[in-house]
C-alpha cells in the first residue's frame, strides 16, 4: 500500500488536491495545523471511496522540530508522492513588513519545504514511480509589487525544485521533482496575506482560478513528464513546461 502526502491539506489547493487524488484511488496522508478541518476532509474522502486509507497528521510546519518529527513519524508508510503545498503570503512594502510574520513565512515556505524535500529525496530517490511536487506561485517567476518578500520565497521554491529535478535526472534517479506555479487562486491565501477576516475574489480580482481547478492542474502535472506546471499571469492558461531557470552542471562550470 502506497500513500500520497499533502501538506497544507486543511483548505484551498491542498484540500481540493486531496479530493482529486482520492478520485484517482490514492491513499492519503493529510497534514495541517487544524485537526477539525482534516477530519472533515477525511470524512469527505471516505464518502468518495470508503476503501481508501486516509491518515491525518497535525503539525505546524513553521516549527522545524515539528517538521522533522512529522517525517520521522511517517517512516512506517510507503510514500510514492509527496506534495509540499503548505505556505502563505504577505502583501506589504519591505520597510513596512511585520517581521515576526515574515520569519514564520520564511520558515514555512522555504525551510520546511527544503527539509521535507531533502529527507524524501534521501529515502526515495531510487524508488520507481515516486514524485515530489512543490507548490510555488506565478510570483515564483515574476516579482509582484508589495509582495517582494513573498515572491522571493517562491523564487526559492521554483529554483530549488527545478534544480533538484535536473540534479536527479543527471544522477539517473527514479524520483521525479516537479513544481506547480498557480496564479491568483480562490483560497484563504488573500485573507492571511492581507491580514483581513474576509476577502472577495469575485469583487477584487479580475481573473482567478478556483482551488478545484488548480487541483486539476496539479493532477495534470502529476501525470505528465514535465517539470513545471505554470499558469500564465496574463491569459490564465495553464501549461506544462520543461525547466525555466538556467541550470549549469558542474562539468559545464569546470569547462568554462
Active-site residue numbers?
150, 154
DSSP state of 38: H
Burial per residue of 219-250, b for 16 or more beta-carbon CB atoms within 10 angstroms, e otherwise: bebbeeebbbbbbebeeeebebeebbeeeeee
- Taking CA 238 as the corner, what is the angle to CA 236 and CA 240, rounded to the nearest 5 degrees? 150
Q: How far apart are CA 208 and CA 252, in angstroms?
A: 41
| Residue 68 backbone dihedrals phi, psi, to 5 degrees | -65, -40
**Beta-strand relationship, 238-241 and 228-231:** antiparallel
Concatenated DSSP letters for 152-218? HHHHHHHHHHHHHHHHHHHTT-S-EEEEEE--SEESSHHHHHHT-S---HHHH-SS-EEHHHHHHHH
Reading the block at residue 84, the C-alpha cell is 509540499
Amino acid at each position: 500500500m502506497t500513500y500520497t502526502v499533502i501538506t497544507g491539506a486543511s483548505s484551498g489547493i491542498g484540500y481540493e488536491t486531496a479530493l482529486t487524488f482520492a478520485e484517482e484511488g490514492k491513499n492519503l496522508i493529510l497534514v495541517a495545523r487544524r485537526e477539525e478541518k482534516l477530519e472533515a476532509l477525511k470524512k469527505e474522502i471516505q464518502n468518495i471511496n470508503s476503501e481508501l486509507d486516509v491518515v491525518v497528521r497535525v503539525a505546524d510546519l513553521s516549527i522545524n522540530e515539528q517538521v522533522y518529527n512529522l517525517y520521522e513519524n511517517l517512516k512506517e508508510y510507503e510514500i510514492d508522492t509527496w506534495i509540499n503545498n503548505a505556505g502563505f503570503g504577505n502583501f506589504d512594502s519591505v520597510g513596512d513588513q511585520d517581521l515576526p510574520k515574515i520569519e514564520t513565512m520564511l520558515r514555512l515556505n522555504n525551510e520546511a519545504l527544503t527539509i521535507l524535500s531533502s529527507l524524501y529525496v534521501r529515502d526515495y530517490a531510487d524508488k520507481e514511480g515516486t514524485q515530489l511536487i512543490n507548490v510555488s506561485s506565478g510570483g515564483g517567476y515574476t516579482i509582484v509589487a508589495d509582495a517582494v518578500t513573498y515572491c522571493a520565497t517562491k523564487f526559492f521554491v521554483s529554483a530549488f525544485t527545478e534544480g533538484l529535478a535536473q540534479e536527479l535526472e543527471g544522477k539517473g534517479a527514479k524520483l521525479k521533482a516537479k513544481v506547480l506555479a498557480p496564479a491568483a487562486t480562490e483560497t484563504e491565501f488573500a485573507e492571511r496575506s492581507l491580514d483581513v477576516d474576509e476577502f472577495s475574489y469575485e469583487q477584487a480580482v479580475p481573473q482567478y482560478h478556483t482551488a478545484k481547478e488548480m487541483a486539476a492542474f496539479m493532477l495534470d502535472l502529476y501525470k505528465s513528464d514535465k517539470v513545471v506546471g505554470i499558469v500564465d499571469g496574463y491569459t490564465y492558461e495553464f501549461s506544462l513546461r520543461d525547466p525555466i531557470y538556467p541550470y549549469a552542471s558542474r562539468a559545464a562550470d569546470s569547462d568554462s
